[in-house]
Structure 1
């Protein structure tokens, strides 16, 4: 395995220690990952009769924007404030922002009787529009934790735009594919639950 060596700022002993500790777990090679991460909601709407509802009362979830480190399918590892590496042997099966949107949509479907529409399903103008920017969904090396953080905006038809930041942290995680993947699932579902509670409110 070819280890990725992050650029070190002169005099930064913390960054050097972090890079040495993680050198066997991080990489940027073209080798195919051994695992793909697919985020699964912890609760799902039950199968049954079709839901019929007025789209004007729907909750429409737009595809969140995301930090540039989350625009690719590699799982980011923050080594320090200025350095990002990527976890080896694992990748996202789909862009993190789109996977988060799917988990959030399914979580909302289990908590409300309203129609929940994901951006791209069809052209719908609902009474509640959700947009956001995904800021973090990866591993934080200094704290050995998985972090998911997103800024969400809620626009009620005819009302003001309300913004709020949501975050979940799962501590005590090794920088390895399996534990990081499991912790990401936990953190994403935690944040989705927070957002759903805010929307249903």
Structure 2
């Protein structure tokens, strides 16, 4: 009797262990240690892209060099900031940038300057020390403003010219899209439109300056 009971108890433990193990495997398929992926991934795309086949050439020293904009930590990440009031921030639910917004803004600015000016344009990197004309600045705001229900993009641009880059001019540019629902899809579309409006203003400033 004792031997039979021990065998039954051992078989029960094996079956229980198999059930627990199966449950663990099932649970592992339902969770992600990296957190839930956002429903929407935002990317800035040019509303005025350079046409295919366009060719621009010239000395590298004559190129317009577009630099990475500076930004505080609320913008130097993939989450989209939501301003709750003058001193409080949150982050948009179910939406995130596919790449840091500062880098995307630089590429959008470079593409738009090319399209609207016809100038030779390069982006950052090793070109920073060779171009006589440099465009940079600080991205102050690119997110959702909850009190006004608007998306705001604000950029302090800096333009320097000459071999020594000592002749510097700064100007603030801003675009606001009102009446935006605090949801990922409309916020993403509004961010793209507002960013395009700002870079168009900057491109025309570079051309006229």
TM interval, shorter chain, is: 0.7 to 0.9
Residues 56 and 124 of structure 1 are in contact (CA less than 8 Å); yes or no, is this contact kept in structure 2? no
Could you tell me how far 1:184 is from its partner in structure 2?
Answer: 0.3
CA–CA distance in structure 1, aligned partners of residues 99 and 40 of structure 2: 13
Aligned with residue 154 of structure 2, among 149, 152, 155: 149
1:138 aligns with 2:143: yes
- Structure 2: any 5+ residue segments left out of the alignment? 1-33
**How far is 1:120 from its partner?**
2.3
Work out which of the two has the higher radius of gyration on C-alpha atoms and give 1 or 2. 2
Unaligned runs of 5+ in 1: 1-28
The counterpart of 1:43, out of the listed 48, 72, 75, is: 48
Structure 2 residue 149 is matched with structure 1 residue 167: no
Q: Are the equivalent residues in 2 in contact too, given 1:55–1:124 (CA < 8 A)? A: no
Write the mapping of 1:73-92 to structure 2, written as runs, cut at 5 A. 73-92=78-97
State the partner residue of 2:118.
113
Q: Is the 8 A contact 1:67 1:136 kept in 2?
A: no
Does the Cα contact within 8 Å between 1:60 and 1:124 map onto a contact in 2?
A: no
Aligned CA RMSD, in angstroms, stands at 1.6
Shift of 1:165: 0.6
1:59 aligns with 2:58: no
Give the TM-score taking structure 1 as reference length: 0.82
Shift of residue 179, structure 1, vs aligned partner: 0.5
Deviations 1:3-45 (CA, angstroms, capped at 9, x unpaired): xxxxxxxxxxxxxxxxxxxxxxxxxx93210110011000111
In the alignment, what sits opposite 1:190? 197
TM-score by length of 2: 0.79
Residue 36 (structure 2) aligns with: 31
SS at match of 2:190: helix
TM-superposed deviation, 1:121: 6.5
- Displacement of 1:51 after TM fit? 2.8
Structure 1: how far apart are the matches of 2:53 and 2:141? 35
Counterpart of 2:27 in structure 1 is: none
Aligned pairs, number:
173
- Give the Cα–Cα distance (whole angstroms) in 1 for the partners of residues 103 and 177 of structure 2: 21
Say if 2:106 is the partner of 1:101.
yes
